[in-house]
Structure 1
Amino acid sequence: MLEFYKTFEDGTRKIQEPEPGCWINAIAPTEEERNYLIEQIGVLPEFVKSSLDEEESSHMDYDDDFRQLLIIFDYPSAENEDDDSIDSTYSTLPIGIVILKGYVVTISLYENWSILEMSQGRIKGMDTRLKTRFFLLLALRISQRFLICLRQIDRLSSRAETRLHQSVENDELIEMLGLEKSLVYFSTSLKSDEVTLNKIMRGKQIQLYEEDEDLLEDVMIEIHQAIEMCNIYSNTMAGTMDTFASIISNNMNIVMNKLTVITIVMAIPNIIFGFYGMNVRLPFPFVWFPSFVAILACVVATVYFFRHNMFK
């Protein structure tokens, strides 16, 4: 899907054909649309390919010959993104921002909230003619989206922990493991985005004006905050998982201890009757005597184990 947007005096509107100073939004482009970007718009083929690679990490690439800049930036993605859903899974995906003469092009495999908000004109100060500011505003929305997803992960983790306090089930542990994996993805992508922003801050490939520098600082603050939150949640969740692993192991030891005690008590009559079953002469060879001794021994052993808290 290809969409074209341009900022006019009265705001940003969708247009039918690309014009100088417009924003071209490509989401899951078909082969024909890719060829259009390459042949008609002039985007380098390798830039299109990199933007559509799910495994591509955040980085910046500049082509001196064609004077094109590619910025790969990771953004958070969620399936079943609902605050009350325990099945939400989070990951990160790349989006490519190509800055070339006359246009700014965004290329991604999937729709995302940040692009949707920008296309709806809900971003204050957005101007498709100001390419650097356009990218920084997009990066700011992505960093803020990271913070929103991190808070959702924290709420889901707290709910799973509450259920684990009531009963330790596999579903809650698997959910906690999935959230911990999401935090690892977030941490890796945030650090890559931070490296990319640090390169932009040096101002070698992108010229930064005073307003752009202030906006870049805001983006860096949001990214740093997201990294700190991600580290805190990761450490907290890792500690929680270790704690419940210890609880499960301790509960297993308690169960095995009770089974061992019961086995010992039940083995006492077998031992006594085993003596009287041997082909030797023993005192009081009457049925009532070994039975009485077995019952008495079981009662004594049971009282002993109770006093020593072996049944708890």
Structure 2
Amino acid sequence: MNLLSIFKTIDGKMCKMPEMGPGCWINLTYPTEDELKLVMEKLKVEPSFLRAALDEEETSRIDTEDGQTLVIIDVPSVEKEDAVIYSTLPLGIILTEQNIVTICLKETPIIRDFEEGMVKTAKTSQKTSFILLVLLRVAGRYLQYLKQIDKISSYMERQLYQSQRNKELIQLLDLEKSLVYFSTSLKANEVTLEKILRGRIVTLYEEDQDLLEDVLTEVHQAIEMANIYSSILSGMMDAYASVISNNLNVIMKVLTSITIMITIPNIIFSFYGMNVGNLPFPTAWFPAVLSVGIVVIVGIILKRKDLF
């Protein structure tokens, strides 16, 4: 969905504006070429900055050129198809002399919270504070999704004990892949935050220091949670593989024991079915009784050997 929205904080409220002006925040979601050209012409935004955030492979970084600053941050994303799949995508934040521009390939609930005025302290005129509030919201979203992943993995674990289908196993693999994405993106975000902390590229004011420390704390917590959940999930997958292998061995032992027990009557009846004279007790009941007796004895022996 293509979307160009313009907002400005007026009397402490986030208001939608009809056109761009000083002190405005411009949000671009999967923009068209015309929308990109409009922003370039109106705000004189560096073209490479706009296109950098539209590259899905772009990693978190911070850059500055001609008085403009680009901050790319990896934000969490969730897709619901046959199963819940988590991933990350780049969100670009561009600071010009008078405006803030955000650009992303998909609509994200993080930006939607700002558009709907849910972040009360966000002011479009305070650019540094605005960036840090976005980063804090991103870190909070990571923590929220990580808790969801933990709940889903716990549910899948219970399902695996009840059934041994591939569906649950594939979902666990998707969750493990999601945790790898999260861990990698969070570490890249951490590096970007540390560069901001130095204050060489983005000007930090005294009131921004506490906010930046809160962001770093949230990111560090998210990194630790991602690592812990990844270790738990990896251990659970290994344990499940061992359980499957052990169950297969048990099934094979039982089938082998049954095969041995079934073979005994076949051997006895084969002897009595041949045209051979002088066999003991040639009556019909004797082979049946003999077969049952030997099968019972073999069954007891196998049971004592824990093979049946």
Q: Establish whether TM, by shorter chain, passes 0.5.
A: yes
Whole-Å Cα distance in 2 between the matches of residues 204 and 223 of structure 1?
A: 21
Q: 2:29 aligns with which of 9, 20, 27?
A: 27
Q: 1:254 aligns with which of 237, 241, 250?
A: 250
Look up the match of 2:211: 215
Whole-Å Cα distance in 2 between the matches of residues 262 and 238 of structure 1?
A: 36
Whole-Å Cα distance in 1 between the matches of residues 115 and 195 of structure 2?
A: 27
Which consecutive residues of structure 1, in runs of 5 or more, have no partner in the other structure? none
Q: In 1, are the aligned partners of 2:53 and 2:72 still within 8 Å (CA)? A: yes
Q: What amino acid sits opposite 2:260 in the alignment? A: I
TM superposition shift of 1:169? 2.1
Percent identical pairs in the alignment equals: 49
Structure 1 stretches of at least 4 aligned residues deviating more than 6 Å after TM superposition: 276-282
Number of corresponding residues: 305
Look up the match of 1:163: 159
Q: In 1, are the aligned partners of 2:23 and 2:125 still within 8 Å (CA)? A: yes
Whole-Å Cα distance in 1 between the matches of residues 10 and 87 of structure 2?
A: 36
TM superposition shift of 1:233? 1.0
Q: In 2, are the aligned partners of 1:276 and 1:282 still within 8 Å (CA)? A: no
Q: Deviations over 1:118-170 (max 9, x none)?
A: 11222132111111111000000010011111111111111112222222222
Look up the match of 2:71: 71
Q: In 1, are the aligned partners of 2:12 and 2:120 still within 8 Å (CA)? A: no
Q: In 2, are the aligned partners of 1:47 and 1:98 still within 8 Å (CA)? A: yes
Look up the match of 1:43: 45
Q: Deviations over 1:63-100 (max 9, x none)?
A: 2xx2221111011111239xxxx822211111000111
Q: In 2, are the aligned partners of 1:74 and 1:93 still within 8 Å (CA)? A: yes
Q: In 1, are the aligned partners of 2:272 and 2:282 still within 8 Å (CA)? A: no
Look up the match of 1:119: 115
* SS of alignment partner, residue 4 of structure 1: strand
* SS of alignment partner, residue 229 of structure 1: helix
Whole-Å Cα distance in 2 between the matches of residues 171 and 165 of structure 1?
A: 13
Whole-Å Cα distance in 1 between the matches of residues 132 and 278 of structure 2?
A: 96
TM-score normalised per structure 1: 0.91
Q: 1:60 aligns with which of 31, 49, 62?
A: 62
Q: In 1, are the aligned partners of 2:25 and 2:100 still within 8 Å (CA)? A: yes
* SS of alignment partner, residue 54 of structure 1: coil
Structure 1 stretch displaced more, 15-24 or 162-171: 162-171
* SS of alignment partner, residue 191 of structure 1: helix
Whole-Å Cα distance in 1 between the matches of residues 30 and 179 of structure 2?
A: 26
Whole-Å Cα distance in 1 between the matches of residues 48 and 112 of structure 2?
A: 25
Q: Deviations over 1:194-248 (max 9, x none)?
A: 0111111111111111111111100000000111111111111111111122111
Equivalent residue runs for 1:1-312 within 5 Å? 1-63=3-65, 66-80=66-80, 87-273=83-269, 284=280, 286=282, 288=284, 291-311=288-308
Q: Deviations over 1:176-207 (max 9, x none)?
A: 22111111111111111001111111111111
Q: In 2, are the aligned partners of 1:23 and 1:103 still within 8 Å (CA)? A: yes
Whole-Å Cα distance in 2 between the matches of residues 10 and 261 of structure 1?
A: 79
Structure 1 stretch displaced more, 220-229 or 277-286: 277-286
Whole-Å Cα distance in 1 between the matches of residues 146 and 199 of structure 2?
A: 30
- Alignment RMSD (CA, Å): 2.1
Structure 1 stretch displaced more, 265-274 or 176-185: 265-274
Q: Deviations over 1:241-262 (max 9, x none)?
A: 1112211111111111100001
Q: What amino acid sits opposite 1:11 in the alignment? A: K
Whole-Å Cα distance in 1 between the matches of residues 209 and 293 of structure 2?
A: 87
Whole-Å Cα distance in 1 between the matches of residues 10 and 265 of structure 2?
A: 95
